[in-house]
Amino acid sequence: METKFVADSMLGKLAKWLRVLGYDTHYQRHYSPGVMDESINTQARCSFMAMPWGSK
């Protein structure tokens, strides 16, 4: 099974490099509420999300 990813709007450079390396990566500059969750659930994608510094 091929690994698929979805990257949030803060991780454009990571998404670009994952694509260069041949990984199926979904990235948009702006996501509507629930779009990332839908991609994760319906397309079985792993998610990358940026967290602000100092978050727990």
**Residue labelled with tokens 């490099």:** 17
Question: What total of structural domains would you count in the chain?
Answer: 1
What pLDDT, in 10s, does the model give residues 12-42? Answer: 899 999 999 999 998 888 777 777 777 778 8
Residue range(s) defining the domain that contains residue 34: 4-48
Give a yes or no: residue 24 inside a domain: yes
Give a yes or no: residue 56 inside a domain: no
DSSP letter string over 8-54? -TT-HHHHHHHHHTT-EEEE-SS--TTHHHHHHHHHT-EEE----TT
Give a yes or no: residue 27 inside a domain: yes
Give a yes or no: residue 36 inside a domain: yes
Give a yes or no: residue 55 inside a domain: no
Give a yes or no: residue 53 inside a domain: no
Is the pTM higher than 0.75? no
Q: Which residues of 24-42 are buried (b: 16+ CB within 10 A; e: fewer)?
A: ebbbeeebeeeebeebbee
pLDDT of residue 38: 78
